[in-house]
C-alpha cells in the first residue's frame, strides 16, 4: 500500500493559494495511485482530500478528537482523541513522502517527526529548515511532487 501524507495550514480558506495547491497535490497523489492521509480537518487537509477524491483516490483522516467530525472528503475516519499528538500518526503513515503546504507550529512538529522518521519532505510555502526545498511557485512545487511520486 503506497501512502502520502499531506500536512499544512488548517485555516487556509477555499480559493486561497494554499488550498488550491493542496487540491492539485491531492489530485496528483490519487492519480499516481497513492492513498492520501491527512489530519482530516479543514484548510490544506480539506483541499488535498477534495483533490484526491476528484482524482479517484482514497482518503484517510487521522482525527484529533474522539468524534468523527471531519472535512466532507474523508473516506476513512480514524478518531484518536490524541489532539496534536496525532501528528506523529499522520506523518508516520506515509510510505516515504510527506507533503507540507503552509502551516504553523502543528505543521512544524509534523515536519520534525517526518524528518526524524527518514521521510522525504516536499514543501510549498511552509517552514524553511534548510533540510529540504521549500517552493514558492505552485507550478514548480507540483512539478517536483510529480517527479518524487
> 0.95 exceeded by the pTM?
yes
Helices (H) and strands (E) in the chain, counts: 5, 7
**Spatial CB neighbours of 128, under 8 Å, sequence gap ≥ 6:** 134
Q: Does domain 3-148 have CATH number 3.10.180.10?
A: no
pLDDT, tens digit, 9 for 90 and up, residues 30-75? 999 999 999 999 999 999 999 999 999 999 999 999 999 999 999 9
pLDDT computed for residue 118 by the predictor: 98
Question: What's the residue count for the chain?
Answer: 149
The CA–CA distances, whole Å, from 91 to 73, 132, 134, 136, 138 equal 19, 16, 18, 22, 22
pLDDT computed for residue 82 by the predictor: 98
The domains of the chain are located at 3-148
Q: For the stretch 53-75, what's the b/e string if a residue is b when 16 or more beta carbons lie within 10 angstroms of its beta carbon?
A: bebebbbbbbbbeeeeebbebbe
Predicted confidence band of residue 107 (pLDDT cuts 50, 70, 90): very high
pLDDT computed for residue 69 by the predictor: 96
pLDDT computed for residue 111 by the predictor: 98
pLDDT at 1 over 90: no
Q: What is the mean pLDDT of the chain?
A: 98
Predicted confidence band of residue 6 (pLDDT cuts 50, 70, 90): very high
Amino acid at each position: 500500500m503506497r501512502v502520502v501524507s499531506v500536512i499544512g495550514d488548517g485555516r487556509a480558506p477555499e480559493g486561497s493559494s494554499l488550498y488550491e495547491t493542496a487540491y492539485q497535490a491531492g489530485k496528483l497523489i490519487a492519480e499516481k495511485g497513492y492513498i492520501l492521509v491527512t489530519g482530516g480537518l479543514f484548510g490544506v487537509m480539506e483541499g488535498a482530500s477534495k483533490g484526491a477524491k476528484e482524482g479517484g483516490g482514497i482518503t484517510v483522516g487521522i482525527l484529533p478528537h474522539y468524534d468523527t467530525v471531519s472535512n466532507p472528503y474523508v473516506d476513512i475516519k480514524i478518531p484518536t482523541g490524541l489532539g496534536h499528538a496525532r501528528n506523529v500518526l499522520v506523518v508516520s503513515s506515509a510510505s516515504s513522502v510527506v507533503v507540507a503546504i503552509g502551516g504553523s507550529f502543528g505543521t512544524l512538529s509534523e515536519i520534525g517527526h517526518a524528518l526524524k522518521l527518514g521521510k522525504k519532505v516536499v514543501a510549498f510555502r511552509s517552514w524553511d529548515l534548510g533540510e529540504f526545498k521549500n517552493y514558492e511557485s505552485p507550478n514548480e512545487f507540483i512539478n517536483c511532487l510529480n517527479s518524487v511520486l
